[in-house]
Amino acid sequence: MRLEDEIQQKEFKDAYNKATVNLLFTHSYIVTKQNSFLKPFGLSPEQYNVLRILRGQNGNPITVSSIQDRMLNKMSNASRLVEKLKQKGLVIRNECPADRRQVDIIITDKGLDLLNQLQQEILNQNQNLIKLDASEVDQLNFLLDKLRG
């Protein structure tokens, strides 16, 4: 569906204005779909992002500040997200032996199991959400990388 129809706006000042609004609208659309999908699993998209970062560590601990640096949403509070994941038994927090002010975070087997359970469903959801063929997805990724230049 066209952006103009979705937000009930007849025209935009220029193509750059439309592109900016379109990106913001599309971001909101995707986040809403992710929230709906992850809610039954007791996760927010930000918590899911933290778990994926931790899985990428392959069992090695990482500090909260390093998690924050790698997060998709830089405005998220990584400490709060880690605490919620800890309460669910999905991560462990340990005092960093090299610097007692730092805390090392590691994903638990329960966290890995949850990610494994979600993996195929996330793949299916992404393919259903992004209604483009493989070459169009490659082009979209190229253009988005170029946009952030």
Domain boundaries, the chain: 1-41, 42-122
| For residue 101, pLDDT beyond 80 | no
* Phi and psi torsions of 128, nearest 5°: -75, -35
* CA gap 37, 94 in Å, rounded: 31
| For residue 133, pLDDT beyond 80 | yes
User: Tokens standing for 104?
Assistant: 């090392």
**Across the strands, what pairs with 91?**
107
User: DSSP letter at 85?
Assistant: H
Of the spans 4-8, 65-69, 75-79, 135-139, which averages the highest pLDDT? Answer: 135-139
* CA gap 83, 92 in Å, rounded: 9
| For residue 97, pLDDT beyond 80 | no
| For residue 117, pLDDT beyond 90 | yes
Dmax over Cα atoms in the chain, in whole Å?
60
Q: Which CATH number fits domain 42-122: 3.10.20.30, 1.10.150.120, 3.40.50.1970, 1.10.10.10?
A: 1.10.10.10
Predicted model pTM: 0.86
122 alpha carbon, distance to own chain's centre: 11
